[in-house]
């Protein structure tokens, strides 16, 4: 049978932002966000990432994409996206895949509107349109610089300023996706041909990342765009947490003898106990040298590494010793010395009162503050995503190694679209 195939070009090189397709927004690499959006689209049968980069390929495969190795000659700064798509189609043809419709998704658009993408595929699949692209409606008066830099109107008369309600809208491409009939695309070698349609998307999703400023803006928007639709379950094989500000409320009490003490939550202790009972490894990783850290870990019966000057290196060593991929670890932090660890793991998590940079790096922000049930909150989410909690349907955001049919899950893990 012919298939609707999503193809995501994601080369390793980038001038504006180094390793752009692996940069994280909402705690998830950009290429993974695109794969996730395509897999959540019920109209798409297969998701393919075409790349020249081994690390991008590994991330994409983990999130459930099929990989097409793109030749270096098709991955340079001057290479056209159409060329990469045509190469991918030829490769899929050699794999005996009959492609009828191509959904070209761009990883640099972190908030792909899945509902609009589904509509676009249906328009092309039904042959009502040959090509459909994502766009936002605009009523703006557009100008261009003419000879000598003088401003000249583009879409209006200079002496006519009608009210918004008296004007027809124009549409601005967002670059997020283009859906085309495969046969027509092969013949035209361009994404626009035949009858072209527009898929309107939510303006909140319209950001496209080409500069560091746009990347920073996307990271700040992610909690707003992603937050409402995130599934509570977290799909990992191990949990690592900071101590101060996570197991505690980030305060310390000092008596007249200079002895320090902290307050912890019994609820957190029960959460850790439940994780241990489920066989999920747990590590407390802290830069703090105070014996209270080891004492608390001993009470909980979990691994501890404290007085760690390089937390990321210790995390990598601990994970390697246990054969646990970093992508299968949840790390819970609250301050800037946790950022390196948050960037390493598959599921970066923050307490709600964390430093703004930590909140920006997090894939999940907990409901409970540090010292007031944050660890229990995390534990319950991890247990909800554990294999024993599975119901046969794919859980949102679960890495491919633990997934079943992508179309079985009714909710969107990353976006509210």
**Residues 101 and 139 grouped into a single domain:** yes
Summarised one tens digit per residue, pLDDT across range 110-133 is 999 999 999 999 999 999 999 999
**Residues 288 and 206 grouped into a single domain:** no
Q: Residue 61 pLDDT more than 70?
A: yes
> What pLDDT score was predicted for residue 398?
54
Q: Quick one: which H or E segment has residue 239?
A: strand 238-241
Q: Residue 412 pLDDT more than 80?
A: no
**Residues 194 and 219 grouped into a single domain:** yes
Mean pLDDT of 402-415: 35
**Residues 269 and 251 grouped into a single domain:** yes
**Residues 353 and 206 grouped into a single domain:** no
**Residues 279 and 225 grouped into a single domain:** no
Domain that holds residue 78: 3-143+164-229
Residue 119, in any domain of the structure: yes
**Residue 156, CA atoms < 13 Å, CB-side half-sphere:** 18
Mean pLDDT of 332-341: 97
Place of tokens 């179309």: 407
Residue 393, in any domain of the structure: no
Choosing from 179, 202, 229, the residue where a domain stops is: 229
d(CA 354, CA 369): 9
Q: Quick one: which H or E segment has residue 194?
A: none
Residue 398, in any domain of the structure: no
> What pLDDT score was predicted for residue 388?
58
**Residues 344 and 214 grouped into a single domain:** no
d(CA 294, CA 297): 5
Residue 279, in any domain of the structure: yes
Q: How many independent structural domains does the chain possess? A: 2
| C-alpha of 288 from chain center | 31
d(CA 262, CA 276): 23
What confidence tier does 332 reach under pLDDT thresholds 50, 70, 90? very high
Nearest Cα residue to 346 out of 324, 366, 368:
324
**Residues 62 and 137 grouped into a single domain:** yes
Residue 408, in any domain of the structure: no
CATH code of the domain containing 311: 3.40.50.1000
Summarised one tens digit per residue, pLDDT across range 153-203 is 998 888 888 888 888 899 999 999 999 999 999 999 999 999 999 999 999
**Residues 260 and 278 grouped into a single domain:** yes
Summarised one tens digit per residue, pLDDT across range 299-322 is 999 999 999 999 999 999 999 999
Alpha helices (runs of H) in 75-113, residue ranges in sequence order = 81-94
> What pLDDT score was predicted for residue 402?
34
What confidence tier does 396 reach under pLDDT thresholds 50, 70, 90? very low
**Residues 196 and 305 grouped into a single domain:** no
d(CA 101, CA 356): 42
Residue 194, in any domain of the structure: yes
Q: Are 12 and 19 in contact (CB under 8 A)?
A: yes
Q: Residue 399 pLDDT more than 70?
A: no
Report the range out of 72-81, 101-110, 397-406 with the highest average pLDDT.
Answer: 101-110
Give the contacts of 409 (CB within 8 A, at least 6 positions apart).
40, 393, 394, 395, 396
Residue 152, in any domain of the structure: no
Residue 22, in any domain of the structure: yes
Mean pLDDT of 21-37: 96
> What pLDDT score was predicted for residue 113?
95
Summarised one tens digit per residue, pLDDT across range 260-292 is 889 999 999 999 999 999 999 999 999 999 999
Please work out, in degrees rounded to the nearest 5, the angle formed at the alpha carbon of residue 333 by the alpha carbons of 332 and 337.
140
Summarised one tens digit per residue, pLDDT across range 221-242 is 998 888 644 557 999 999 999 9
**Residues 343 and 305 grouped into a single domain:** yes
**Residues 251 and 217 grouped into a single domain:** no
| DSSP annotation of 397 | T
> What pLDDT score was predicted for residue 325?
94
Q: Environment class of residue 303 by beta-carbon count within 10 Å: exposed (0-12), middle (13-18) or buried (19+)?
A: middle
Q: Residue 403 pLDDT more than 80?
A: no
- Cα dihedral 191, 195, 201, 206, rounded to 10, equals 30
Q: What is the pTM of this model?
A: 0.81
| C-alpha of 9 from chain center | 16
CATH code of the domain containing 134: 3.90.550.10
Q: Environment class of residue 185 by beta-carbon count within 10 Å: exposed (0-12), middle (13-18) or buried (19+)?
A: buried
């Amino acid at each position: 049978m012919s298939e609707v195939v999503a193809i995501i070009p994601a080369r390793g090189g980038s001038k504006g932002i180094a390793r752009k397709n692996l940069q994280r927004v909402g705690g998830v690499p950009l290429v993974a966000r695109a794969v996730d959006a395509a897999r959540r689209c019920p109209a798409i049968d297969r998701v393919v990432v075409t790349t020249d980069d081994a690390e991008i390929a590994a991330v994409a495969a983990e999130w459930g994409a099929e990989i097409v190795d793109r030749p270096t000659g098709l991955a340079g700064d001057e290479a056209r996206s159409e060329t990469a798509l045509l190469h991918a189609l030829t490769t899929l043809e050699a794999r005996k895949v009959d492609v009828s419709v191509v959904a070209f998704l761009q990883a640099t658009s972190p908030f792909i509107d899945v509902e609009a993408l589904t509509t676009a595929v249906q328009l092309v699949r039904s042959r009502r349109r040959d090509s459909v692209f994502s766009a936002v409606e605009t009523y703006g008066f557009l100008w261009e610089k003419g000879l000598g830099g003088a401003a000249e109107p583009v879409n209006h008369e200079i002496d006519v300023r009608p009210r918004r309600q008296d004007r027809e809208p124009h549409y601005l491409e967002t670059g997020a996706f283009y859906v085309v009939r495969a046969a027509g695309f092969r013949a035209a070698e361009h994404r626009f041909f035949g009858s072209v349609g527009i898929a309107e998307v939510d303006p909140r999703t319209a950001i496209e990342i080409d500069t560091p400023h746009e990347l920073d803006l996307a990271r700040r928007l992610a909690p707003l765009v992603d937050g409402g639709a995130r599934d509570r379950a977290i799909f990992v094989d191990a949990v690592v947490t900071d101590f101060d500000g996570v197991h505690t409320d980030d305060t310390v009490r000092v008596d007249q003898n200079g002895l320090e003490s902290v307050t912890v939550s019994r609820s957190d202790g029960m959460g850790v106990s439940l994780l241990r009972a489920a066989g999920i490894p747990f590590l407390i990783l802290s830069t703090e040298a105070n014996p209270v850290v080891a004492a608390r870990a001993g009470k909980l019966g979990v691994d501890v590494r404290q007085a760690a000057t390089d937390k990321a290196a210790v995390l990598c060593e601990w994970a390697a010793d246990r054969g646990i991929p970093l992508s299968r670890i949840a790390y819970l932090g609250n301050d800037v010395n946790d950022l390196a660890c948050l960037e390493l793991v598959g599921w970066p998590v923050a307490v709600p009162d964390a430093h703004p940079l930590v909140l920006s790096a997090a894939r999940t922000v907990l409901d409970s503050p540090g010292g007031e049930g944050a660890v229990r909150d995390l534990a319950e989410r991890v247990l909800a995503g554990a294999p024993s909690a599975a119901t046969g349907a794919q859980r949102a955001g679960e890495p491919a190694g633990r997934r079943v049919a992508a179309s079985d899950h009714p909710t969107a893990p990353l976006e509210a679209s």
